[in-house]
């Protein structure tokens, strides 16, 4: 019997980038579903601890774990801490990533290297650990972007890094045959996080909000709903890229 059917102990999720806007919403949603949650951070330890305190105050169970997602030793230590303190790992939601926008012709290759280190190497590090550490009935959920389909100018470096995440996700799902572990990616459209809104004037925000037929930006809660579905009941969805973007593409 898989751990999905176990009621004696809560399932455990590790959310990388859990102190960010989408990561925070996913932590809240999984906590509401009864998960014990590890809130991962790269630089903002206090923000992660504040989220842990929020979960605990609401009656949930949570810990904070730190580390550079591209550093295999730091992330192995983070996985160790989750297993030691929460008893194991059933779900990994890998939201950690950075976005640097630039036309290809004027791209600073140092920015490209920095972004690809976090988004590509980081996703491989986390996915490799998840492939070896997740319990049966578990789920790995990586995060891509709808920009892999939209082809908007200045997004090429970022979209290229996320296209690599999609390829990793789809192939890993097939490599884990027989382990009862699902591997999927979420590819959000424009989502109203503080990071997304920073530096954009109202005209730009309104233009992006008008793109989907639903005529609004996504919210972190919209993305968290999809993550919760893939983390829990969606056992027959595997090796897929899901596009929560209101029909933009």
- Catalytic center residues: 158
Residues in the chain: 249
Across the chain, the runs of DSSP E, i.e. the strands, are: 12-16, 36-41, 62-66, 91-94, 138-143, 181-186, 241-242
Closest by Cα among 147, 65, 47, 43 to 99 = 147
Measured between alpha carbons, how far is 47 from 41 in angstroms, rounded to an integer? 8
For residue 11, give the 3-state DSSP assignment.
coil
For residue 218, give the 3-state DSSP assignment.
strand
Closest by Cα among 38, 32, 37, 35 to 11 = 35
Residue 124, number of CB atoms within 10 A of its CB:
17
């Amino acid at each position: 019997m898989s751990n999905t059917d176990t009621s004696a102990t809560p399932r455990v999720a590790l959310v990388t980038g859990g102190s960010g806007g989408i990561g925070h919403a996913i932590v809240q949603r999984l906590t509401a579903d009864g998960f014990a949650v590890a809130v991962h951070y790269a630089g903002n330890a206090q923000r992660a601890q504040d989220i842990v305190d929020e979960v605990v105050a609401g009656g949930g169970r949570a810990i904070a774990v730190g580390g550079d997602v591209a550093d295999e030793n730091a992330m192995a230590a983070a996985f160790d801490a989750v297993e030691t303190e929460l008893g194991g790992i059933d779900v990994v939601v890998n939201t950690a990533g950075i976005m640097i926008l630039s036309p290809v012709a004027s791209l600073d290759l140092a920015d490209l290297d920095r972004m690809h280190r976090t988004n590509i190497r980081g996703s491989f590090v986390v996915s490799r650990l998840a492939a070896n550490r997740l319990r049966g009935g578990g789920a790995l959920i990586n995060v891509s972007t709808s920009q892999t389909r939209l082809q908007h100018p200045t997004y090429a470096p970022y979209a290229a890094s996320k296209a690599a995440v999609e390829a990793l996700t789809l192939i890993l799902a097939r490599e884990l045959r027989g382990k009862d572990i699902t591997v999927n990616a979420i590819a959000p459209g424009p989502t109203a996080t503080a990071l997304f809104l920073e530096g954009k004037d109202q005209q730009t925000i309104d233009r992006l909000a008008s793109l989907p037929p639903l005529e609004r930006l996504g919210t972190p809660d919209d993305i968290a709903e999809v993550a919760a579905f893939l983390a829990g009941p969606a056992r027959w969805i595997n090796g897929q890229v899901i596009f929560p973007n209101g029909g933009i593409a």
